[in-house]
């Protein structure tokens, strides 16, 4: 069996023992009976435990039992002499001073973070990592000894040695992060990928929350079109829900992508007949959806275009007279669709029928925010931003393949 306890920083804190069956002890439940014989008490080997109510983790699953010999345990008997007052009785000020020292100078948290960062870079058995594990043990004894292993300046020097990079599972915005190759990093990224599903499972079906709003897509004049976009959203919602119902799509996104994300039949390869049938259904749905798009766009441009309403293509063009009105209405449509919580099923595709207008609004807001920078810098930022987003998406996809050991086949 594997026996350990928290805190667990030194490799020797994890001990593999052979469990024996002693009939006389079978009446004991949820306790560990350690042997009295040996070179050193086993509890003391495990994080310096002194059996004062400690709780141990016991693991007996074969997959989690290390096959390597036990590491040499750390010597947890403090090497720092205990600070004692022998020349006079202890008074209330001595007690207050000790309590304040514990609360003000405790560096356990900083040392634990340093240990985790060094462990991720160098491994748990590296001399730097082992040294910090020893510092943590001495810091935990500081309330009894009155002595701290490191001064704050020394801790800052250790932090400076690591630079400004930390593993991604630190989840600290003020550090540059890198994807950790260790199991903590893999678990962290798996949790991030599953988090939206977990929120969906926890959320009651009757509860609908507004989606986060991109502030750069908000136009200054969007409030002038609030009432008109509500009517447009109602028309679009009724029509697209009919299409989704007839062709059995679970969401408007699936309809746009010609894919049913909730159907189990897509998890297995389709036969030729199934593929042809699916394509015919998707084609029919797309025809109806394109007709709906044409109708919605005509309604959208009716009250914001100064051009000839009979020529829809001319209305699509952004002229100087109606550019602000078009962008403001598209922004109002985006805000309404992403904040409307009156329906259990969200329809978020509508504002993206006018994606060019939203993009222009975003560029306009970015230019306002970066007016202190040179035009060349702004142009470079606007040009690079889409590629940066694509790069982040590709990086996450590749990291997922690495974490899950998905076999790759190239043809």
Alpha carbon distance 107, 94 (integer Å): 21
Do 274 and 390 lie in one domain? The reply is: no
H-helix or E-strand spanning residue 166: strand 165-167
- Last residue of some domain: 12, 47, 77? 77
Do 310 and 388 lie in one domain? The reply is: no
Structural domain boundaries enclosing 24: 1-77
Report the pLDDT value the prediction gives residue 265, as an integer from 0 to 100.
Answer: 42
Do 394 and 279 lie in one domain? The reply is: no
Report the pLDDT value the prediction gives residue 264, as an integer from 0 to 100.
Answer: 44
Give the number of other CB atoms < 10 A from CB of residue 44. 17
Report the pLDDT value the prediction gives residue 3, as an integer from 0 to 100.
Answer: 93
Q: Is 109 exposed, middle or buried (0-12, 13-18, 19+ CB in 10 A)?
A: exposed
- Mean pLDDT (whole number) for 63-82: 78
- Mean pLDDT (whole number) for 339-349: 85
Helix, strand, coil percentages, rounded to 5, for the chain: 55, 5, 40
Which residue in 231, 217, 220 sits closest to 303, CA to CA?
A: 231
Do 404 and 293 lie in one domain? The reply is: no
- Can you spell out the DSSP letters for 197-257? HHHHHHS-TT---PPPP-GGG--TTGGGGHHHHHHHHHHHHHHHHHHHHHHT-SSHHHHHH
pLDDT (tens digit per residue) in 223-249: 999 999 999 999 999 999 998 888 888
135 falls within a domain: no
pLDDT (tens digit per residue) in 145-168: 777 888 888 999 999 998 889 999
pLDDT of residue 126 exceeding 70 = yes
**What is the chain's Cα-based Rg?**
32
Per-residue pLDDT band for 351 (boundaries 50, 70, 90) equals very high
pLDDT of residue 386 exceeding 80 = no
Report the pLDDT value the prediction gives residue 346, as an integer from 0 to 100.
Answer: 83
Q: DSSP class of residue 142?
A: H
132 falls within a domain: no
- Reading the block at residue 279, the tokens are 């394509």
Residue with tokens 């007709």: 291
Report the pLDDT value the prediction gives residue 379, as an integer from 0 to 100.
Answer: 60
The length of the chain is 411
55 falls within a domain: yes
Report the pLDDT value the prediction gives residue 137, as an integer from 0 to 100.
Answer: 84
Do 357 and 251 lie in one domain? The reply is: yes
Which residue in 246, 247, 242, 269 sits closest to 257, CA to CA?
A: 247
Do 222 and 349 lie in one domain? The reply is: yes
Q: Is 180 exposed, middle or buried (0-12, 13-18, 19+ CB in 10 A)?
A: buried
Percentage, residues of the chain above pLDDT 70: 73
More confident residue, 409 or 38: 38
Alpha carbon distance 381, 219 (integer Å): 20
H-helix or E-strand spanning residue 385: helix 375-404
Do 248 and 347 lie in one domain? The reply is: yes
- Highest mean pLDDT range out of 47-61, 264-278, 393-407? 47-61
More confident residue, 91 or 67: 67
- Last residue of some domain: 40, 61, 77? 77
Residue with tokens 């435990």: 49
Do 266 and 380 lie in one domain? The reply is: no
Per-residue pLDDT band for 394 (boundaries 50, 70, 90) equals low
Overall domain count for the chain: 3
Which of 37-46, 147-156, 319-328, 385-394 is predicted with the least confidence, judged by mean pLDDT?
385-394
- Mean pLDDT (whole number) for 350-372: 86
Do 222 and 353 lie in one domain? The reply is: yes
Report the pLDDT value the prediction gives residue 267, as an integer from 0 to 100.
Answer: 47
Residue with tokens 């400690």: 54
Report the pLDDT value the prediction gives residue 266, as an integer from 0 to 100.
Answer: 40
- Last residue of some domain: 48, 77, 106? 77
Which residue in 329, 396, 400 sits closest to 361, CA to CA?
A: 329
Per-residue pLDDT band for 369 (boundaries 50, 70, 90) equals confident
Do 8 and 70 lie in one domain? The reply is: yes
Report the pLDDT value the prediction gives residue 54, as an integer from 0 to 100.
Answer: 80
321 falls within a domain: yes
- Reading the block at residue 204, the tokens are 């009651």
Do 318 and 382 lie in one domain? The reply is: no
Which residue in 146, 230, 233, 129 sits closest to 182, CA to CA?
A: 129
More confident residue, 67 or 88: 67
Q: 3-state class of 4 per DSSP?
A: strand
Do 404 and 307 lie in one domain? The reply is: no
| 174, 116 contact by CB (below 8 A) | no
Residue with tokens 């679970």: 250
pLDDT of residue 311 exceeding 60 = no
- Highest mean pLDDT range out of 74-83, 129-138, 186-195? 129-138
190 falls within a domain: no
Alpha carbon distance 21, 184 (integer Å): 35
8 falls within a domain: yes
- Highest mean pLDDT range out of 6-10, 141-145, 192-196, 268-272? 6-10
177 falls within a domain: no
Per-residue pLDDT band for 341 (boundaries 50, 70, 90) equals confident
102 falls within a domain: no
Helix 375-404 × helix 355-369 angle, to 10° = 120
pLDDT of residue 188 exceeding 50 = yes
More confident residue, 203 or 394: 394
Per-residue pLDDT band for 142 (boundaries 50, 70, 90) equals confident
| 299, 350 contact by CB (below 8 A) | no
């Amino acid at each position: 069996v594997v026996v350990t306890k928290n805190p667990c920083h030194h490799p020797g804190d994890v001990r593999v023992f052979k469990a024996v069956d002693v009939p006389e002890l079978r009446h004991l439940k949820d306790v560990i009976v350690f042997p009295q014989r040996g070179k050193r008490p086993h509890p003391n080997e495990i994080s310096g435990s002194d059996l004062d109510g400690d709780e141990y983790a016991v693991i007996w699953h074969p997959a989690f039992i290390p096959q390597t010999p036990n590491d040499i345990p750390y010597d947890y008997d403090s090497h720092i002499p205990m600070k004692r007052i022998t020349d006079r009785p202890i008074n209330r000020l001595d007690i207050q001073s000790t309590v304040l020292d514990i609360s003000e100078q405790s560096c356990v948290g900083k040392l634990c973070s340093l240990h985790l960062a060094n462990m991720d870079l160098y491994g748990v058995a590296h001399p730097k990592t082992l040294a910090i594990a020893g510092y943590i043990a001495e810091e935990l004894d500081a309330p009894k000894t009155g002595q701290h292993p490191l001064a704050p300046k020394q801790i800052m020097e250790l932090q400076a040695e690591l630079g400004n990079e930390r593993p991604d599972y630190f989840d600290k915005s003020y550090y540059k992060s890198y994807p950790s190759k260790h199991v903590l990093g893999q678990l962290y990224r798996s949790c991030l990928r599953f988090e939206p599903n977990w929120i969906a499972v926890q959320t009651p079906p009757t509860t609908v929350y507004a989606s986060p709003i991109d502030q750069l897509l908000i136009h200054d004049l969007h409030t002038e079109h609030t009432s008109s976009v509500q009517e447009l959203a109602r028309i679009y919602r009724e029509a697209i829900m009919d299409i989704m119902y007839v062709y059995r799509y679970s969401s408007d996104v699936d309809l746009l992508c010609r894919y049913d994300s909730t159907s189990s039949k897509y998890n297995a390869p389709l036969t030729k007949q199934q593929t042809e049938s699916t394509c015919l259904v998707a084609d029919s749905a797309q025809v109806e959806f394109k007709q709906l798009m044409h109708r919605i766009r005509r309604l959208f441009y009716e009250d914001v275009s100064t051009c000839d309403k009979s020529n829809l293509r001319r209305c699509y063009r952004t002229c100087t007279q109606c550019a602000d009105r078009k962008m403001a209405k598209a922004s109002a449509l985006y805000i309404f669709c992403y904040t409307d919580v009156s329906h259990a099923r969200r329809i978020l595709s509508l504002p993206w029928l006018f994606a060019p207008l939203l993009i222009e609004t975003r560029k306009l807001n970015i230019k306002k925010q970066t007016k202190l920078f040179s035009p060349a810098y702004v142009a470079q930022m606007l040009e690079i931003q889409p590629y940066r987003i694509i790069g982040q998406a590709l990086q996450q996809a590749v990291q997922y393949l690495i974490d899950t050991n998905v076999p790759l086949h190239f043809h």
